[in-house]
Structures are given as C-alpha cells and as structure tokens.
Amino acid sequence: MRTFTTLEGNSQRLDGGAMFGNAPKALWSRWVETDEHNRIALSCRALLVQEDDRNILIETGIGAFFSPEMKERYGVVERQHVLLDSLAEIGLTHEDMDVVILTHLHFDHAGGLLSAWQEGKPSELLFPNATFITGHRHWARARRPHPRDQASFIPQLLGLLEASGRLELVKDGQHSPTLGPDWRFRFSDGHTPGLMLPEFDMPDGPVVFPGDLIPGAPWVHLPITMGYDRFPEILIGEKEALLNDMVADNGRLVFTHDAKIAVARIGRDEESGLYRVRDTSDNLQKADH
C-alpha cells in the first residue's frame, strides 16, 4: 500500500515580477496578492510517500540554514526548521526518512537537508539514515554552476552529501536502484539542466512532483515562466508534454511553491485549449487512492 502526504516547510516572500518572468503584473496579479514590497507568498512544500515500510521524502524546502541577514534577503518567514515541525505533527523525525529525493539542488529545494542556523556553528547534514537521490546531470551542474545560477547552490551541502556515502545519482532514462522500477523519473532542462521529476502510480492515476518546472497553479498556463528559469522556451515545451500526459492519464501534480494549492489534477478546455487545475487539495492532505 502506498500513501502520500504533503508537508509544509519554511515559507518565503519573493518578488512577484521575478516569479512570473516577462508576464506583466496586470496579468499575474489576478492570481496572487502582493505586499508593499511587491512580494508574493510562496510555500516550500515537500511530499512524503510511505510504502513498503519505508518513508520517502521528495524535497526538503529551504529550511532554516540561512543566517538572519540571508533570511531577510531571501524573504524566509519562519526562524525554526518548519519541515521538521511538519514531520513531528505526523509522528516522524528526519531520522525516520529512508530516502530523500531532490528534484534539484537549489537552496529553496535542498536547504532543508541542513540543520538550523546557529551563530558560530556550521550547519550539519540531517536525515542520517536516508539515501539521497538526485539527477546525474544536475549534480554535474551543481558542481560547476553557471555564473547566472551560482548563487542558487549551497557549496557546503554538496560536500556533505558526497561525504555521507549515501548519494545516488540517476541518469536520464534509468531507474533508481534504491527505489526500484515502480518509480519513474522525467528530466527537464528549462529551469535548470537535469531537473529530475519523480513519478509514481496510485490506483486512480499517476502523481508527479514537477518541482520548478510547474511550481504552482498559475504556472500551468503555458506562456508563464519564472525569471529564474534558464531556458524558458525549452521549459514551455517540457511543460506542455507533462500537462498533456496528466490530462490523458488523469494524473496529479504536487506544487512545491503554491501557497494555497498543494495537489491538483489537470484539465484542458476544449475550445480554448488552455490548461486548468481541477480537484485541488490544500496543505497536509493524505491520500491512498
């Protein structure tokens, strides 16, 4: 039996214009509210999948590893490590995780691997019993980032993951030896080279964690991309292919950054051809069907 639960991590407030790329505010302000600094609320959501007596965590959010100065710069709201609190609410700790899947290694998706900031002390790698799984090509990118996205990576985290002896890199088109053939991975290059999208089946259709390929419901609209995306035109094609599959297979997407919608199925309007979210669920929902 397989169940999944969405878990909240530390939230952020980031510039709305950066999150919606070249789309004008007159358009994207229909979907989200801004504060006095033009920032929008964002979740950093993880997904817990429980199966075969093992706990599999997809992403860890931004966590609390930043110093107070850096938290302010990147709009991190809470001081404590919220993902650890979310795990505690369902009777688990980071030590109970058997596998942690990382779609990519940008700090707002992998920072939760690290312990909370303490003055004068280096952050430690959490999840001591987990195998860490990420994409082979993206690992190479993280080791040698482009100047445009260099600030998105956490240099000390890469060393800690490598030193753990529990890092597993998945190549395009291959399965994870740890997870087995029941887990599939799509790969995407539009947001960052080698982004890895985990996919698994439920009785009523597949579930995909698209990470920053489709970070929330507004980004289901094909032309909408983020200013952080490396190759927006490539991303739009990758997004369309995924959405078409979700419509055809009655699949669900788990949104990592949407402040209100955690999980949704995808529909497509027959007349306009536009994609829509449907059957939406909010945070901390559990499903086994």
Is 145:153 a contact under the CB 8 Å cutoff? Answer: yes
pLDDT of residue 282: 84
Fold of 2-287: Metallo-beta-lactamase; Chain A (3.60.15)
Is 117:123 a contact under the CB 8 Å cutoff? Answer: yes
Question: Per-residue pLDDT tens for 189-247?
Answer: 999 999 999 999 999 999 999 999 999 999 999 999 999 999 999 999 999 999 999 99
Q: Is the dihedral of CA 232, 22, 213, 247 positive or negative?
A: negative
Sequential pLDDT tens for the chain (289 residues): 899 999 999 999 999 999 999 999 999 999 999 999 999 999 999 999 999 899 999 999 999 999 999 999 999 999 999 999 999 999 999 999 999 999 999 999 999 999 999 999 999 999 999 999 999 999 999 999 999 999 999 999 999 999 999 999 999 999 999 999 999 999 999 999 999 999 999 999 999 999 999 999 999 999 999 999 999 999 999 999 999 999 999 999 999 999 999 999 999 998 999 999 999 998 644 444 3
Length of the chain measured in residues: 289
β-partners of residue 266 are 277
**Quick one: which H or E segment has residue 139?**
helix 136-143
- Kindly list the strands in the beta sheet with 46-51, ordered across the sheet, starting from the edge strand earlier in the chain: 167-170, 131-135, 99-101, 54-58, 46-51, 2-7, 286-287
Residue whose C-alpha is closest to residue 190's, from 156, 143, 151, 241? 241
pLDDT of residue 287: 46
Residue whose C-alpha is closest to residue 71's, from 16, 121, 14, 18? 14
CB proximity list for 279: less than 8 A, separation 6 or greater? 252, 264, 265
- Tokens 């919220």, located at residue: 82
Is 256:44 a contact under the CB 8 Å cutoff? Answer: yes
Domain parsing of the chain, residue ranges: 2-287
pLDDT of residue 283: 62
